[in-house]
Structure formats: structure tokens, C-alpha cells
Structure 1
Amino acid sequence: MKGRNMTRWRDPAKDPRQEPKSQLITAEGHARLKGILDHLSRVKRPELSAKVGEAAALGDRSENADYTYNKKELNRVIARIRYLTKRLDELQVVDRLPADTNKVYFGAFVTLEDEQGEELEIRIVGHDETRSDLRWISVDAPLAKALIGKSLDDEATVAAPAGQTTYVITAIQYRTPKPS
């Protein structure tokens, strides 16, 4: 069975997938994950179970594409439910502002200016709520690590694919978290 269920061995000490994820999450992110879990548990799983049951009742399962597809989809949903249940138990919800709102900490909206004078606004959030379209970056990201603890007008240098980039912090904002 060459290739099936086989993966390439990776040194755990050097594998970036093995790096521990931050256990922090915003109240909004926690509520969103709970909503996804609730939808999967109450809507998606029963719907797929019914489809699998209907397809199984038709007879020969080995040649039944509906059965095969829906069974795989049901297994994927069940795995996602297990992952979310475990992950939600591990997470620590950050539901208050930091003591010093003049410095960059978890949950901050930070406006940066690069060496060419272009502005970039990012938000530092937990690993499970990163969104590139909104420029929400993980607290574990190199840029976030370079910014944590910095104040207004401080410089942060981060390694980028084109070399090192230096940013100047031009604004730091926090929005009052909504309780979950």
C-alpha cells in the first residue's frame, strides 16, 4: 500500500505545523466559533445523516455515489465538530481592554506606515479568527510579535520575503469587547 495513508516524516522541532497555537481569542471570535459549532451540530449533521440513510436504503452501497459522497461529507462534519468542541474548551476569551491602551496588545487595531509612506491597518487576533480580507493577523504572526508591547511612534522591524521591512506605529485603537 505504497502512498496510501503515508506521510513524509518531518522533524517535529522544525515543522511549523507543530508550533503551539495561541490559546487567546476575542469574545466576537468565540461567539462565531460557537455559532459554527451549533450550526454543524443542529443543522448540517442531521441533514447529512438523513441523506446517508436515504441513499443507503436504495441498495448497493458500493456503486451508490450519493451514499459515498454524503458519507464522506458526514465524516468531515463530524471531524469538524470534534475539533471545534475540543478547541473551544482550550481557548481563553479576552473580554476586557488592556490596562495600558497606549501600547499594542491582543485585540488592538494598529495603523502602520511603511518605509514608502503607505499606511496599513491591521488587527491582532487569535489564531482561529485570522482574516486576510480584513487584515486581521494572528497574535503568533511575526508582524504581531514585533508589534506587541510597542507604543505610538515606535518602529517595528519584521522579516518579509523581499527582506526586512520597518513599520512605524501611527495609531493604536481598541474597541470595547462585546460580552459573549
Structure 2
Amino acid sequence: MNQQVKNDQDDDEDFGAPPIPAGSKNYMTPQGHQRMKNELLHLIDVERPEVVQIVSWAASNGDRSENGDYIYGKRRLRQIDGRIRFLTKRLDMAEVVDPSAHHGSDQIFFGATVRYETQSGEAFTVTITGIDEIDPLNGKISWISPVARALTKAREGDAVMLKTPGGLEELVVLEVRYPAPMV
């Protein structure tokens, strides 16, 4: 049987998430933090116990080498455990930043929803979120993305320069919004 030797770094899969830049904090919105926390609790309280039960049942059926339920269950258990380690690590490093603190401001900081226009006249709306909250198809970009870095600290009406593979591009900030504070 061919077994691979794993080191501790192999256990910390990135699950598609970009690494947090060295020396930076893992900024997150309260909603993003809560989503990750809910996922972690669901994995610990629901999914993992279900898979453990299936693996125990499958192991009791005898020969494990050709037992699909056992083999798949053990693989799924490793995936769940890896995800639990990843979420725990990211949540431990999290710095929760409430964007509503800037409600009413026209300057761009973490958590801002920004509408901007490119030189070609295309308008885009993005929300600057944490690394673990990105969803580009829905306009959620990471605070470390080139667009977010170019926009940060600008104000409505400002023009900023974005370095792209095709050269410098000017972006004009049309609108800056923040969520209203929770009462």
C-alpha cells in the first residue's frame, strides 16, 4: 500500500482562499465572521458526527479495503477536519471591522460599497470585504485586491489610478455607501 507522508503544513489547506499577507490582519465584516462561525459550528455539531457514525457502521461490516462507505467516509472525515482547522485558524486571526462606523462618509475604507467608472465609461459596483468573504460575481472584492487598494481612502468624485496588465487605468469614484448602524 502506497502511503504519503504529510507534514503539518499539508493539513492547513487553503480551500481556495488567498493567503493573508504577512504582517496583515484578517479583516472581516461582522456578517462574514458570523457566516464562518456558523459553518464551523455546523461542521462540528452536524456533519462530522454524521460521517463518524457512517464510518463506524461501515467499519463494523468487516473488510475495509473494498468497503466504499468506509473509504469515502474516511476521506470525507479528513476533508471536514481540514476545513475545521482552516476555519478555526482564520477565525482566531480575524479582526472584525464594522463598516457601519463610516456610515454617511464619502471616503472609502474597508466595508464600503463603491460605484466607480472606468475610462471607457463602464460603471462597476463593488463592496470591499475580507479575504474570506470575496464573491467577485456578486461584486464583493477583497481589501487586498488591486481595485480595492486603488480605491481605498479616495472620496466621491476622486479619480484614482489602477495599475493593470495593460497599463494604468483611471477610475472615477461615483458613489460611496456604508450600511446603516444596527440599533
Could you tell me which residue of structure 1 aligns to residue 112 of structure 2?
A: 108
Q: 1:53-91: per-residue Cα shift (whole Å, max 9, x none)?
A: 111111111111221111011111011111111211110
**Aligned pairs (5 A) from 1:58-97:** 58-95=61-98, 96-97=100-101
Alignment of 1:1-180 (within 5 A): 19-20=21-22, 22-95=25-98, 96-98=100-102, 101-176=105-180, 178=182
Residue 80 of structure 1 aligns with an amino acid whose one-letter code is: R
Structure 2: runs of 5 or more not aligned? 7-17
1:54 aligned partner, one-letter code: W
Aligned-residue RMSD, C-alpha: 2.2
The alignment's TM-score, normalised by the length of structure 2, stands at: 0.83
Distance in 2 between the 1:141 and 1:177 partners? 26
Asked if the contact 1:23/1:90 (under 8 Å) is kept, the reply is: yes
Change in CA separation of 1:166 and 1:28 when aligned onto 2, cut-off 3 Å: same
State the secondary structure of the residue aligned to 2:176. Answer: strand
**1:120-160 deviations in whole A, cap 9, x for unaligned?**
00000010100012110000111111111001111122122
AA aligned opposite 1:48: V
Give SS of 1:101's match: coil
Tell me the amino acid that sits aligned with residue 39 of structure 2.
Answer: I
Task: Report if aligned partners of 2:25, 2:93 keep a CA contact under 8 Å in 1.
Answer: no
Q: Secondary structure at the match of 1:175?
A: coil
The sequence identity of aligned pairs, in percent, is 37
Contact 1:22 1:127 in 2 (8 A): no
Going from structure 1 to structure 2, the CA distance change for 1:18 and 1:94 (only over 3 Å counts) comes to closer
Given that 2:20 and 2:26 are in contact with CA atoms closer than 8 Å, whether structure 1 keeps it comes out as no
2:13 equivalent in structure 1? none
Contact 2:29 2:111 in 1 (8 A): yes
Return 5+ residue gaps in structure 1 as ranges: 7-15
1:112·1:169 contact (CA, 8 Å) conserved in 2? yes
Q: Is the 8 Å Cα contact of residues 104 and 177 (structure 2) preserved in structure 1? A: no
Report the number of matched residues: 167
- Residue 9 of structure 1 corresponds to none
